[in-house]
Amino acid sequence: MKPENCITIFNQSINDYHVKDSVDTKIVNPYKEGTVENLMYLKNWVDTVQWHYEDIIRDPNIDPVAGMELKRKIDKSNQHRTDLVEKIDDFYIELFKKTEVEEKALLNTESPAWVIDRLSILCLKIYHMQEQVDRVDSEDRHKKQCAQKLSILKEQEVDLTNSFNQLLQDFETGKKKIKVYRQMKMYNDTDLNPVLYRKDK
Give 107-149 pLDDT, tens digit per residue.
999 999 999 999 999 999 999 999 999 999 999 999 999 999 9
Give the confidence band of 197 by pLDDT, cuts at 50, 70, 90.
Answer: confident
Torsion sign across C-alpha atoms 183, 189, 193, 194: negative
pLDDT digits (tens, 9 = 90+) for 76-85: 999 999 999 9
Asked whether residue 196 carries a pLDDT value surpassing 80, the answer given is no
What global pTM score does this model have? 0.92
pLDDT at 201: 57
Output the pLDDT for position 200. 58
pLDDT per residue as tens digits for the range 10-51 = 999 999 999 999 999 999 999 999 999 999 999 999 999 999
- Residue 126 to residue 123: CA distance in whole angstroms: 5
Tell me how far apart the alpha carbons of residues 119 and 160 are, in angstroms, rounded to a whole number. Answer: 7
- Sequence spans of domains, the chain: 3-188
Task: Find the helix or strand (DSSP H, E) in which 56 lies.
Answer: helix 36-57
Confidence tier at 193 by pLDDT (50, 70, 90):
confident
